A and B are shown apart, each in its own frame.
Chain A
């Protein structure tokens, strides 16, 4: 543990030496083995090619002269634990100690290009690329050892980075000794064989976070913790509303004070000072006048607006005959489901430090997309891309919100204008204003079933949530799924920015689908688990549901049974999730207490079971928020929730007993783990509320007021 910690500190020096020269890619490889991986050769790497991992960047790992192994990835660590699971994969294939691996993440000079850390793609797409590189490195090192020891490869084995002769373990040589100063460049023609589950020593083994010690002792560095000589904080003039126009700004009080530096480029006005509170104090002395139109949009009127603004539908899937489906149904259900705007609200607001060093711009930013940020900065400041470097830091949460990088663009702009290192650390108020919210959305669903519990009709249209998770997985003869706007962004339609929010689209789509399923089951008096199994042919979903039911001890219900049992299932990022819950609803107040959540997940090969379990637990806790309390209130482009007193995140007292079952499928490809489990939370709790008190809610969040009204 100690070794791991020390290196993570080394990676993120507290004081960045000024004039630190750019370490070019080749230079980095000066002292070690370069592993050439011809990506296109590997079937397993199809996803990697699709992600544009550069095939000429043979740069997933380096074996240092001291024997340390450096893994390079354009992914970032925002709490999801991939610095641990990627190191496990690398150490596994290379046969080195986990503690000897250091991950270098998200540094655009040092790491291979990556689109960004989103979509639960790190383990399932980047993982195989890294494993292949490590497997090939191992073979090359064995060849080198064979020459050095004068023994055939077949007589050798590797353990903890030391190649030894099986018949005489004293005859050995370490990776470090092999690579020391050699600078060998070599590649293999043949495909490397990845280890199989029976050979795994590290993959599949529960492993504690490697960054734990750094994080509990305050040593882990986030963007706001980097300190540079002469750095200043920038406080930027902000409009009251997203649709405000600046009419006039009197900056004389701040300007004449001499205490701060004022920067103005058109409507972009910033105050710089080495202390953020003093900068803020002088910013508040600027007298600004705005014109703000009234669009009449708010959290209540938005839904009609969305349906009115809908583009032509995109049919994602259809089959059978909807009219016939209607005629064959004993019961028809026509429902509308509504979802408000939700904030990402990471505990670390968007933060970035930027500095010009000669012609180069260096940026430490809390970003999920360092390479995109690099391009955006180069474009905005008319610089060459190669002159911009985004550096490694820890992120204090992302959830999709740190794929947009406004703060870093501001910092870079101000660093260039002022010639100083500039820190832009958004306040919570700014964070709530400039978030790229999960879009408000409308889902319309007409379905039908027979009294026998067979679904005969499914006609689904979703407005502005996006298409991820819109397709159902039930066996329904007559069906259609239409997305009106397939993305989670829709410029000009929403009164402010929207974006990807943990398992984008799927939270809204799963809420609608799984609420409707329970509604149908209840109407015909069938247990909702039995009703699902009745209409499923997908074996993965069937076994996942059964695994959840077994753990939960599901007993058949005819809702509302008064027991408060909820159930929901879904598919996201290649993983299958089934969840069951028990809730209590206080009838006098409408308050919900979720007592127990059981979650079964088929995610294929699990690299770090403990890490995957923790992600699932996090999904449950975070999902409680969008299900029960989180809702952005607004008037046009003016956001009313600007801090945690008016935007309720889940709290300790909400913590249910959470039990996670990961299906044991080591021979299946690894699937996503950071997002899938959150998709069921809305319907899970909605269905449980219905079972508890017979109140059916079609709108999230399911606040006490709405529950009382529905009762």
Chain B
């Protein structure tokens, strides 16, 4: 059963007709070619697929397409561009807060959502906010530093 869904994606109004049971993750990756949002576990355990829905971090593998009806979705591509990076993206580059880079978009989206609601967070608050995002390369110390430094720019 196909449904028509209206939403805002990276600040542009969109309307698509799709099977509403499909997850947001694969709609973004395949229908909109926004491949910066990564599949990591498919069960909401790792955070690699995190995007912002109405400014809040959401695991796109855990919600179906109908969830975004009339909402605003921001992906890593909509946050900033290589030429004009968002402060959190910039801080990740400056701190070398990534290795393989696969968890990075999810880390940045989670951190951005957190920083939009918490100004001047402590290190412990950052750790709490990021706790359920997994990184296998071990970039954790630099990710924490990057978020702390980005918090001063937001």
- Seen from chain A, the residues whose Cβ lies within 8 Å of a Cβ on chain B are 2, 5-6, 9, 14, 78-81, 208-209, 211-222, 224-225, 227, 274-278, 345-349, 394-399, 425, 427-429, 610, 614, 617-622, 643-645, 649-655, 657-658
Closest chain-A Cβ to B143's Cβ sits at a distance in Å of 8
Contact (Cβ within 8 A) A620 B138: yes
Interface residue SS majority, chain B: loop
Asked whether B144 is an interface residue with its Cβ less than 8 Å from the other chain, the reply is yes
Can you list 18 pairs linking A and B with CB atoms under 8 Å apart? Answer: A79-B100, A79-B137, A80-B99, A216-B101, A217-B76, A218-B76, A222-B38, A224-B38, A345-B136, A346-B102, A348-B100, A397-B137, A621-B140, A643-B41, A645-B45, A652-B144, A653-B131, A655-B144
Instruction: Provide the bound-state CA to CA distance between A654 and B144, in Å.
Output: 12
Known contacts A275-B26, A618-B99, A619-B138: A215-B104 contact under CB 8 Å? yes
Instruction: Across the interface, name the chain B residue whose C-beta is closest to A399.
Output: B136
Q: Which of A5, A277, A429 counts the most chain B CB atoms within 10 A? A: A277
B residues less than 8 Å from A208 (CB atoms):
93-94, 96
Q: Write out the residue numbers on chain A whose beta carbons fall within 8 Å of the beta carbon of B140.
A: 621, 650, 652, 654-655
Task: Specify which of A78, A212, A214, A219 is in contact with B100 (CB 8 Å cutoff).
Answer: A78
B43 contacts partner chain A, Cβ-Cβ < 8 Å: yes
Nearest A residue to B94 by beta-carbon distance?
A208
B102 pairs with A348, CB closer than 8 A: yes
Kindly list 11 other residue pairs between chains A and B, CB separation below 8 angstroms, not including A79-B100, A79-B137: A79-B99, A212-B96, A214-B82, A216-B89, A217-B81, A347-B38, A396-B101, A619-B138, A621-B140, A650-B138, A652-B130
User: For the complex, is B77 an interface residue (Cβ under 8 Å from A)?
Assistant: yes
Tell me if B142 is interfacial: C-beta within 8 Å of chain A: yes
Given contacts A224-B39, A618-B138, A644-B41, are A651 and B76 in contact (CB under 8 A)?
no
0/1 interface trace, chain B 25-68, chain A, CB 8 Å (1 if under)? 01000100111111111110110100000000000000000000
Smallest CB separation, A702 vs chain B (Å): 19
CB-CB < 8 A to A5: which residues of B? Answer: 82
Q: Max chain A CB contacts within 10 Å: which of B76, B108, B128, B135?
A: B135
Interchain CB contact under 8 A, B26 and A216: no
Whether B82 lies near A217 (C-beta < 8 A) is yes
Which chain A positions have C-beta within 8 A of B26? 275-277
With both chains docked as a complex, state the minimum distance between the C-beta of B80 and any C-beta of chain A, in angstroms.
Answer: 6
| Closest beta carbon of chain A to B92's beta carbon, Å | 5
Smallest Cβ-Cβ distance to A616: which chain B residue: B138
Q: How far is the CA of A655 from the CA of B124 in the complex (A)?
A: 11
How many pairs of A and B residues are in contact by the CB < 8 Å rule? 189
Report Cα–Cα, A492/B99, bound state, in Å.
Answer: 36
Closest A-chain residue to B46, C-beta based?
Answer: A644
Q: Quick one: which of A347, A397, A429, A651 has the most chain B CB within 10 A?
A: A347
B90-112, CB < 8 A from A: 90, 92-94, 96, 98-105, 108
Query: Nearest chain-B residue to A345 (Cβ)?
Result: B136
**Contact, CB under 8 Å: A655 / B77:** no
Q: A618 with B137: in contact, given A218-B76, A219-B82 (CB under 8 Å)?
A: yes
Partner of B80, one of A217, A345, A650, A654: A217
Given A618-B138, A655-B140, verify A397-B102 contact (CB < 8 Å): yes
Instruction: Determine the distance from Cα of A317 to Cα of B144 in the docked complex, in whole angstroms.
Output: 45
Q: Provide the residues of chain A in CB contact with B108, threshold 8 Å.
A: 216
Q: Tell me whether B35 and A218 are in contact (CB under 8 A).
A: yes
B42 touches A427 (CB 8 A): yes
Cα of A654 to Cα of B99 in the assembled complex, Å: 18
Is the CB–CB distance between B136 and A224 below 8 Å?
A: no
Q: Counting CB contacts under 8 A, is B9 at the interface?
A: no
* B133 at interface, CB cutoff 8 A: yes
- From known contacts A80-B99, A213-B82, A275-B26, infer whether A346 and B138 are also in contact, taking CB-CB under 8 Å: no
C-alpha spacing A285/B99, complex, angstroms: 39
A622 and B45: CB pair below 8 A? no
